[in-house]
Every structure is written in C-alpha cells, then in structure tokens.
Amino acid sequence: MYLSRFLSIHALWVTVSSVMQPYPLVWGHYDVCKTQIYTEEGKVWDYMACQPESTDMTKYLKVKLDPPDITCGDPPETFCAMGNPYMCNNECDASTPELAHPPELMFDFEGRHPSTFWQSATWKEYPKPLQVNITLSWSKTIELTDNIVITFESGRPDQMILEKSLDYGRTWQPYQYYATDCLDAFHMDPKSVKDLSQHTVLEIICTEEYSTGYMTNSKIIHFEIKDRFAFFAGPWLRNMASLYGQLDTTKKLRDFFTVTDLRIRLLRPAVGEIFVDELHLARYFYAISDIKVHGRCKCNLHATVCVYDNSKLTCECEHNTTGPDCGKCKKNYQGRPWSPGSYLPIPKGTANTCIPSISSIGTPPKFNRIWPNISSLEVSNPKQVAPKLALSTVSSVQVANHKRANVCDNELLHCQNGGTCHNNVRCLCPAAYTGILCEKLRCEEAGSCGSDSGQGAAPRCSPALLLLTALLGTASPLVF
C-alpha cells in the first residue's frame, strides 16, 4: 500500500514538475543578471534584475573607537570577573597578547574557550560618564538583510544607541535606543518591534528588552531586521513578492535598510542596581565578544558580484552600468537616463539596462521610466507588480537616414530589448519585438497591446502550481 502511494505521489510530482518548468521553486534571489534564451529568431540575451548574495559584512569593515584610547591595557589595569563582580584580580595588559583585548576581537571567530573580546577601560573616573562610540565603516553602500547582533562579554549596557549613516559618516540618524529605563534615559515610552505594524515600521523606538545588567545568559542585543521584513513578507518570509514590491516602490523603506556606516554609542555600563558602587569601580566597563552584520553590497540591481580589493568593496556592474554602486550608465551607453533595476515583476524583475547613445543620428531619444503602480501594502494582484518597460522612440526614418552603412553594430547602433546584431545588417529581435532596432512591440503594430495582451504581466499561477504549493506546504522559508 505504501509503495503504491509513493508511486502515485512520485508520478504526480513528475507531472507537476514538467508543467512547472517556467516557474522557479525559489523566487526572489536575483542571482543572475542575464541568460541566453532561444526564440524563433535565434539565441538572444534575456536581461534580469540582479543583486549580490547576502554575506557576513563584518569581514569588510573598518572599526574606529572614540575616544581612541578607551581600550583597556595601556596602562595595565585590573578588573572584576564577569561572573563574580567582587573578584577583582583579572588583568588587562595591551603589551601581553594573552591579556590584551584590542578592537579586532569584536569580530574574530567565536566558539573558542575562553572567548575573546574587546574591552574598555574601567569606570575609574566616575562620576565622569564612561562613554564609547564604536563606528563600523564600509566605504560602500550596503543593504542589511538580517538582524544586527551584538554579543557582550560584560553586562549589557544600561544605556545605548545604535545609529546609522547613509553618507559615509557625515550625518547620523538613530536606528534604535536601548535602556533599562527608556523614559528616564531618553524620554521615550518603551516599545518592542512587535508593537509596530506595516504603517509604523520606520518608527524609531526605545526598548528595554535588551538591558538587563549582569544577568547570566543575557549577553545579546538585537536590532531586528527580519521582524520588520515580516510585516510585509509574513512571519516565515514566504511572501517575498509583497516585500520586494514595497522595497521597489517605497524609497524611505528601502533607505531604512541601507547604510554606509553603523555607530554603537555606549552611554552607561551595566550597573545592575540603582546606585554605582564607588568602592568597586573596576566592576564597570564594556566588553564585546562578537558583532554580526549580514547584508549585501548595494548595486542597484545591476550586479551579482561585489569585489573586495585594496580594502575596498566595488560592484562588478552589468547592464552597461558603472560606478561603485552601478549608479550611472557607461560612456556611450546614455541613450536614456540611468535607472536602478526593479524587483518587479517577480521573479526576474526588470533590468532597466543602459542603452547606447545615438548622438550621431540627431537629438537623442527620450525615455520615460514608468514605475509599477502598487498602492496597497500587499502585492497580490499580478497586474500590480508588472512595470511597463521604457521603450525606445527611435524611428525607422531616423535609422534609414543615418550616414553609416551599418544598420547595427556593437557601439552606437545597438539592438534594443535583447535583440542581437546580425552581420551589421539587421537586428534579430525577440519574439515580442520588431523594428529595425527591435524598438517596437509587435502588439503595437497589431493594435492589441491592451490589458489582455499580457505584456509585462507577472506569471499567473496554474492549477498545477497550486497543487504543487499544497504538496510543499511545509517547505522552508525563502532567503532574502
């Protein structure tokens, strides 16, 4: 009985798989910028939006402390044990490797015993505040994709602010406040991310959840990225179309998860009680054993590779774009204004490639980028997630009057919309396009480019797709 049931499910799976070939099982990775496809007119390029893989970004940062001499050990000093704050015979000495706690130990491999960590000087100058700014810089725009996690080896601070910069540290904005008493420290009511919603996801909050002094097994502080994603993509991040739709069309939301620098402002160490014990000031200091920042290089959906060379991150740009973030068109590829790629329509997005300039023809053609119309926070209507492509307005007369003998080439007269130049005589166009440079939609000539034509529409789910969804109901969540 079990064998027959297995065979039946296997047969059903094979059938559904054959029907499902055009639909990827995992959507939203955007890990390919272009592929070659076969059409009736031959092999052509199909361009797609693309982005680098998410990774541990602490491998590429530079760290700066302010004040610069705040690290313990110069001169050597004693401090109290973590587990027993009254056993004050531990030593920090910068001149002895085994006793030193430099800043780079905030990012080294964890799992060793005893653990390694950066440590500040103790609060020996109390009542002067013991405050430290830790600045993490990438010299590159990055997009955060997972929670920021800070692991303290000391007690978690009584007061702390996490800040971000979008302009390489020239200006700063708060990301989140942390305190044992938010009202007293920052004049803010305490909140958690669970108190937010789609409409308040950008609110800057103060949380008391991660400020518990010397309690054991309470060393970690989070800045919750995924919980904010979940307001759009669901608790298991399955509805990525909704999240990508919002990131694509809401600049403030996209910028919220984008940084060039992060700053951890440690304002008051863990005291664990109402009053500071002035007889045991060696109990009070900051110590961080690990910082995790996961993200990807921001390449404006024009690259899948970000290269780290000469201590610098740079996108390997595709789609005829250039710049550290692929933020402009290459020389001689300015036939229309530069535009970032679009996540929509799912799953391939829209590449918005830069096209060759045709300055020798006359006035360059004008292009209008038409954004997808997504008015609601949930992207459920396929018609809502299909941006219209900006099409060339180069006329056949302009091309015919061109002084060059070639109809197309690889420099000035580049075939558009995925077309390929054949012997400099004509463009081989994809099935949906026509014209000398593949600049027209075929349906325009037939007068059938209405809403029923399906141009640019997102793929609709077939019954087989729905059946496969039911079979795979327990599949793992998507990875952003």
Q: How far apart are CA 365 and CA 22, in angstroms?
A: 35
Which top CATH class is 412-440?
mainly beta
Please say whether the beta carbons of 49 and 348 come within 8 A. yes
Using DSSP's 3-state secondary structure scheme, residue 196 falls into coil
Task: Tell me the HSE value of 331 on the side-chain side, using a 13 A CA sphere.
Answer: 0
Q: How far apart are CA 136 and CA 271, in angstroms?
A: 26
Please report the pLDDT score of residue 385 as a whole number. 35
Q: How far apart are CA 386 and CA 374, in angstroms?
A: 10
Q: How far apart are CA 304 and CA 30, in angstroms?
A: 8
Please report the pLDDT score of residue 449 as a whole number. 65
Please say whether the beta carbons of 285 and 121 come within 8 A. yes
Q: How far apart are CA 335 and CA 370, in angstroms?
A: 16
Q: At what angle do helices 2-19 and 463-471 cross, to 10 degrees?
A: 140
Q: Which residues contact 97 (CB under 8 A, 6 or more apart)?
A: none
Q: How far apart are CA 90 and CA 94, in angstroms?
A: 13
Q: How far is CA 231 from CA 93, 194, 199, 202, 210, in A?
A: 47, 10, 9, 11, 22
Residue 148 β-bridge partners: 223
Tokens of 441: 């939609």
Same fold, 28-52+299-355 and 412-440: yes
Q: How far apart are CA 76 and CA 101, in angstroms?
A: 11
Please report the pLDDT score of residue 240 as a whole number. 80
Q: Which residues contact 446 (CB under 8 A, 6 or more apart)?
A: none
Between 3.40.50.300, 1.10.357.10, 3.90.550.10, 2.60.120.260, what CATH number should domain 55-297 receive?
Answer: 2.60.120.260
Q: What is the largest CA-CA distance in the chain?
A: 91
User: Where does residue 420 rank: exposed (0-12), middle (13-18), buried (19+ CB within 10 A)?
Assistant: buried
Per-residue pLDDT of the chain (480 residues; tens, 9 = 90+): 544 554 455 444 434 333 333 333 333 579 899 998 888 878 888 999 999 999 999 999 999 999 999 999 999 999 987 667 678 889 999 999 999 999 999 997 655 556 789 999 999 999 999 999 999 999 999 999 999 999 998 889 999 999 999 999 999 999 999 999 999 999 999 999 999 999 999 999 999 999 865 554 578 999 999 999 999 988 888 888 888 888 888 889 999 999 999 999 999 999 876 788 898 899 999 999 999 999 999 999 999 999 999 999 999 999 999 999 999 999 999 999 999 999 988 888 999 999 998 763 444 444 433 333 332 333 333 333 333 333 333 333 333 333 334 567 655 567 777 777 777 767 888 888 887 777 777 777 666 665 443 343 333 444 444 443 444 444 434 344
Domain ranges within the chain, ordered by starting residue: 28-52+299-355, 55-297, 412-440
Tokens of 444: 């325009």
Please say whether the beta carbons of 41 and 429 come within 8 A. yes
Q: How far apart are CA 47 and CA 417, in angstroms?
A: 9
Q: How far apart are CA 134 and CA 118, in angstroms?
A: 11
Q: Which residues contact 326 (CB under 8 A, 6 or more apart)?
A: 299, 300, 302, 303, 315, 317, 318, 319
Tokens of 43: 């092999």
Give the angle 66-70-73 at the CA atoms, nearest 5°: 155
- At 162, which amino acid appears? L
Please report the pLDDT score of residue 380 as a whole number. 35
- At 17, which amino acid appears? S
Please report the pLDDT score of residue 446 as a whole number. 66
Please report the pLDDT score of residue 204 as a whole number. 97
Whether omega before 67 lies within 30 degrees of 0, making that bond cis, reads yes
Please report the pLDDT score of residue 279 as a whole number. 86
Give the angle 74-76-78 at the CA atoms, nearest 5°: 135
Q: Which residues contact 337 (CB under 8 A, 6 or more apart)?
A: 367, 369
Which top CATH class is 28-52+299-355?
mainly beta
